[in-house]
Amino acid sequence: DQQVKQNSPSLSVQEGRISILNCDYTNSMFDYFLWYKKYPAEGPTFLISISSIKDKNEDGRFTVFLNKSAKHLSLHIVPSQPGDSAVYFCAAPYYNQGGKLIFGQGTELSVKP
């Protein structure tokens, strides 16, 4: 049972435009969410997080929005740059299982010059 889902395997945007990556979850107990970025042949690196007490968190060009009623979060990248081309994963920990951390399937973002 995939409790964190990223239904878009890939996304292509033009440089300078907005990239929106989506993530849905099914477990209403999730309280904290993270986004990771992964380049080929490297380990994932942390990008931004959001706690369920907020509906938005911003860090430079990256903003994460959380809609708890819809069990949906999104990552906005504005403006998109070619260096943002990577695979993006959303993740959530289970608080009642010792912080077991699970990830979505990932979305491959391609930003074209």
Residues in the site for other proteins, rule: CB under 8 A? 6, 9, 32, 34, 36, 41-46, 49, 51, 89, 91, 93, 95, 97-106
Minimal distance, residue 109 CB to other proteins, in Å: 15
Paired tokens of 87 = 């695979």
In the complex with other proteins, which residue's Cβ is closer, 12 or 14? 12
Q: Find out whether 32 and 90 touch, Cβ atoms under 8 Å.
A: no
In the complex with other proteins, which residue's Cβ is closer, 41 or 70? 41
In the complex with other proteins, which residue's Cβ is closer, 42 or 83? 42
